[in-house]
C-alpha cells in the first residue's frame, strides 16, 4: 500500500524515533542477571535430564531436547543483546557473557558481532548486500541470470534448503570459520578458533562421561532445533511483502530500520522464548534497547504496532516471496515473476 504521508513529514517522523527511544536504552544489571539465570539454569537442567534418561536406556529422554532447544534459542538472543552492548550495559561484562554463551550456541562471539554490525549498518541497502543477511535478488538481477544461476538461487530459496540444510550448515560448518570477516584482522580468527577449541574440549568431556552416541542424541537435536528456529526468525524479520529495499542513493537508515524490519506478532510464550526479537523494527531503529524493554516501547508508542506487522500465518505464507520487484517496491514470488515475464 502506498503511503499518503508526504516524504518530508515521513522523514522527520522517522528521525524523531531515534530521540524518542533514547530513554529506553538503559539496561539493568540486576534484570540482566535475572534473565540470564532463568534461561541458562533450565537449559542445563533439561540437558542433564536428557542425559540421565538416555544414559539409563530410556530413549524417550530425547524429548527433553525440545525444551532445551527453546532455552538455547533464548540464550542466543541474550548473546545477541550482549553483542549490541544492550544486555548489562557494561561492555566488558556483555562481551564475556557473550563469549561464554557462544560456546553453547556454537557461535563465535566477536566474529558474529562484527558481521551483525554490518547487517545493521546496511540492512535494506541494495548496494550493500552479502554479509549477515539472507541473499535476496532483484527481479532484474534474477532475469539476467543464466539457467544454472536461476537454478542455484531457486535451490537456495527452497524452504527445505533454507530451513533444513541451512541451519545445519550454518551452525556446524560455516560458523567454524570467520566467513565474511576473514580479512578483518586477528580478532575474528582468535574468536572463532578459540570458540572451536572450547567447544571441542567441552564435547570431549561430555563424550567421556556419557559416550559418543548419547552425546550426539542430545546435542545434535538441540543445535538443529534451535538453529532452525533462529534462521526462521532472522528470515521473517526482513523477508515480508512490504519490506523496504533501496539503492545507496535513496537508502536512509531510519527508514530502512522502521519499514525494512517486521513486527512479528507472536503469541506470549513464543515472545518469551525469542526474547521479543519479533519487535524487530524497534530493535533496528535503536539496537541499544535491551530486549526486556522492547515491550515498554510498544506500550508507550502503540502506533509502532501498525508498522510492518505480520502474524504467524502471514510469515508462513511469505516464504514464497523471494524476489524484490523494484517497480512495485515489494517482494514477489517466482510465480509472480513468471506472470510478469509473460505479460
* pLDDT, tens digit (0-9, with 9 covering 90-100), for 315-334: 999 999 999 999 999 999 99
Provide the pLDDT confidence category of residue 343 given band limits of 50, 70 and 90: confident
pLDDT for residue 6 is more than 60: no
122 assigned to some structural domain: yes
Q: How far is CA 108 from CA 46, 154, 219, 227, in A?
A: 24, 29, 18, 14
The stretches of the chain forming alpha helices (DSSP H) are 7-20, 29-55, 65-83, 91-105, 109-122, 139-144, 147-157, 159-160, 166-172, 186-210, 212-236, 253-259, 268-273, 280-285, 294-300, 312-317, 334-342
Give the span between the Cα atoms of 340 and 129, in whole angstroms. 25
Task: Give the predicted TM-score (pTM) of the model.
Answer: 0.91
Provide the pLDDT confidence category of residue 14 given band limits of 50, 70 and 90: low
DSSP string, 40-59: HHHHHHHHHHHHHHHHTT-G
Q: In sequence order, which residues have a C-beta less than 8 Å from that of residue 257 and are 6 or more positions away?
A: 123, 124, 281, 284, 285
Quote the DSSP letter at residue 311. -
Q: How far apart are the first and last CA of the chain?
A: 22
Range of the domain at 224: 7-342
34 assigned to some structural domain: yes
Is the separation of the CB atoms in 219 and 171 below 8 Å?
no
225 assigned to some structural domain: yes
83 assigned to some structural domain: yes
Extract the C-alpha cell encoding 273: 522464548
Provide the pLDDT confidence category of residue 185 given band limits of 50, 70 and 90: confident
338 assigned to some structural domain: yes
Q: Give the per-residue pLDDT at 146.
A: 95
1 assigned to some structural domain: no
Average pLDDT taken over every residue of the chain? 92
* pLDDT, tens digit (0-9, with 9 covering 90-100), for 109-145: 999 999 999 999 999 999 998 888 899 999 999 999 9
What total of structural domains would you count in the chain? 1
Work out the angle at residue 126's Cα, subtended by the Cα atoms of residues 192 and 13, and round it to the nearest 5 degrees.
Answer: 100
Q: In sequence order, which residues have a C-beta less than 8 Å from that of residue 135 and are 6 or more positions away?
A: 129, 153, 156
22 assigned to some structural domain: yes
Give the span between the Cα atoms of 112 and 177, in whole angstroms. 11
182 assigned to some structural domain: yes
Amino acid at each position: 500500500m502506498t503511503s499518503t504521508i508526504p516524504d518530508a513529514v515521513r522523514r522527520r517522523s522517522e528521525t524523531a524515533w531515534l530521540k524518542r527511544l533514547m530513554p529506553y536504552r538503559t539496561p539493568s544489571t540486576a534484570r540482566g542477571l535475572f534473565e540470564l539465570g532463568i534461561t541458562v539454569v533450565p537449559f542445563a537442567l533439561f540437558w542433564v535430564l536428557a542425559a540421565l534418561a538416555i544414559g539409563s536406556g530410556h530413549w524417550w529422554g530425547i524429548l527433553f531436547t525440545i525444551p532445551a532447544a527453546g532455552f538455547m534459542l533464548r540464550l542466543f538472543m541474550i548473546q545477541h543483546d550482549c553483542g549490541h552492548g544492550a544486555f548489562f550495559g557494561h561492555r566488558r561484562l556483555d562481551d564475556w557473557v557473550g563469549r561464554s554463551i557462544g560456546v553453547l550456541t556454537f557461535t563465535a562471539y566477536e566474529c558474529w558481532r562484527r558481521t551483525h554490525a554490518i547487517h545493521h549498518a546496511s540492512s535494506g541497502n541494495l548496494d550493500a548486500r552479502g554479509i549477515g543477511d539472507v541473499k535476496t535478488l532483484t527481479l532484474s538481477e534474477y532475469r539476467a541470470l543464466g539457467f544454472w544461476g536461476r537454478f542455484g538461487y531457486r535451490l537456495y530459496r527452497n524452504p527445505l534448503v533454507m530451513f533444513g540444510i541451512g541451519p545445519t550448515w550454518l551452525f556446524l560448518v560455516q560458523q567454524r570459520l570467520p566467513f565474511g570477516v576473514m580479512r578483518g584482522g586477528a580478532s575474528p580468527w582468535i574468536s572463532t578458533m578459540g570458540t572451536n577449541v572450547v567447544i571441542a574440549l567441552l564435547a570431549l568431556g561430555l563424550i567421556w562421561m556419557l559416550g559418543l552416541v548419547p552425546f550426539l542424541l542430545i546435542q545434535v537435536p538441540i543445535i538443529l532445533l534451535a538453529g532452525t528456529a533462529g534462521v526462521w526468525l532472522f528470515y521473517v524479520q526482513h523477508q515480508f511483502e512490504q519490506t523496504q529495499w533501496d539503492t545507496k542513493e535513496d537508502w536512509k537508515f531510519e527508514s530502512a530500520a522502521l519499514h525494512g524490519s517486521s513486527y512479528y506478532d507472536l503469541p506470549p510464550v513464543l515472545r518469551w522464548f525469542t526474547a521479543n526479537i519479533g519487535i524487530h523494527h524497534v530493535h533496528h531503529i535503536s539496537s541499544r534497547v535491551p530486549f526486556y524493554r522492547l515491550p515498554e516501547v510498544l506500550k508507550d508508542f502503540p502506533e509502532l504496532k501498525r508498522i510492518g506487522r505480520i502474524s504467524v500465518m502471514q510469515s508462513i505464507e511469505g516464504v514464497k516471496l523471494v524476489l524484490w520487484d523494484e517497480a512495485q517496491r515489494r517482494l514477489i514470488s517466482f510465480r509472480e515473476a513468471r506472470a510478469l515475464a509473460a505479460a
